[in-house]
Amino acid sequence: MNNEHIFIVRCGEVALKGMNKPYFERMLVERIKKLLKKFDGINVRRHEGLIFVRGDKSLDKQAIIKEISKVFGVASISPAVECESTMESIGDAAVQYMIEAIKERGIKTFKVEAKRADKNFPVKSPEIGRQIGAVVLKECKVLKVDVHNPDCLLFVDVRHDKSYIYQDKIAGFGGLPLGTNGKGLTLLSGGIDSPVATWMMAKRGMIIEAVHFHSYPYTSQRAQEKVEELASIVATYCGRFKMHVINLLPIQEQIVQNCPEEETTIIVRRFMMRIAQKIAEKTGCGMLITGENLGQVASQTAEALVVTDSSVTIPVMRPLIAMDKVDIMDKAQEIGTYETSIQPYEDCCTVFLPKHPVTKPRLERILASESKLECDRLIDEAVEADEIVDIFPQ
């Protein structure tokens, strides 16, 4: 058997990119290299439509798989064995692979599935499967063939220079490599939704920057630390990014003093969006990202979202807009943000919360209320007091 770990990494949607495919593949290779820097002597290269990752046998195999699986654009990963592209070498490697599988997992049934990527190889795919299966049966007496529900589905991938044998296809998240789809500014809170929305846009290849609003001293330092912890979990997928921290309290106090109580939530939201747009313009972000979900709370009704969007001139991405809450919670658990999100620390959105917030706001009334405020001054002062926190992957 080989004295190195070999992993076959398959591209997902990247494979459909036509003439742009080499660019996307290069970005994917660079992202994999970056995440695997912590391991010594890792080699990553593209070859014949696949990405091959190689490392010494002394390295932690499962840790390498875990890191690769976080890379957006990766469809699946297979730990593999490499051999020469001859029927004899493939047969020997398959027998050795199955002997190890019998020792480790006690398998009793198997099936061989072969693919001939090299069309000049003299044996066609179905016959490769039959011949290699016969060799395994002859050498591994305890095994039987089961074509319907085998303990081990053995894949044989025959290529021009080398062939590969593997069993597992470990699913990645798919999507597109980071850096292939612009840059967005996410409004990141301590709730369940916004970290998931951020993750979903990063999965589409978008570079992330974040803004977080707090209302200190009504919200605590621990509440901000919770958001930083959530951001660092997201950063394990999308890499290091900057988070702009804005104290919204002076604006909230002015709104409470000068505007109708039922309109405070929607007006606060409009200020948050305008501040976010100012930061986006300064940092080269082409759009805003929010975790809003249609009908979930008063500020997320269809009418409220229209009024919110009228406060900015750049696009607002809402990847969760039509998802059920249970599906959002499931995704949060999958990506590792859920347990942190449900920690009971206050959020700026709960400060000065009206008893009966308007659910169908009318823009002309909101504008009339905002006319009582020095909006430009309040926004400029908030942006000037921006504190930047560098977020690193966990």
Which residues is 171 bridged to in the sheet? 76
CA distance 230 to 388: 16
Count Cβ atoms below 10 Å from residue 70 Cβ, excluding itself.
Answer: 17
Q: How much of the chain is helix, strand and coil, in % rounded to 5?
A: 45, 20, 35
Q: What are phi and psi of 206, to 5 degrees?
A: -90, 130
137 is in an annotated binding site: no
CB-based contact 71:177 (threshold 8 Å): yes
269 is in an annotated binding site: yes
213 is in an annotated binding site: yes
45 is in an annotated binding site: no
CA distances (Å), origin 219, targets 138, 212, 232, 290: 70, 12, 20, 21
Radius of gyration for the chain, computed over Cα atoms and rounded to the nearest angstrom: 27
Token duo for residue 283: 């940092």
CA distance 93 to 136: 10
Q: Which residue is listed with tokens 């979990």?
A: 233
Burial of 238 (0-12, 13-18, 19+ CB in 10 A): buried
300 is in an annotated binding site: yes
DSSP secondary structure letter of residue 175 = S
What is the 3 state secondary structure string of 50-114?
Answer: EEEEEEECCCCHHHHHHHHHCCCCEEEEEEEEEEECCHHHHHHHHHHHHHHHHHHHCCCEEEEEE
With both helix axes pointing from N to C terminus, report the angle between 21-35 and 61-69 in degrees, rounded to the nearest 10: 130
Torsion of CA 344, 347, 353, 357, to 10 degrees: -100
CA distance 240 to 126: 47
Extract the annotated binding site: 187-188, 212-213, 269, 291, 300
Instruction: Return binding residues for ATP.
Output: 187-188, 212-213, 269, 291, 300
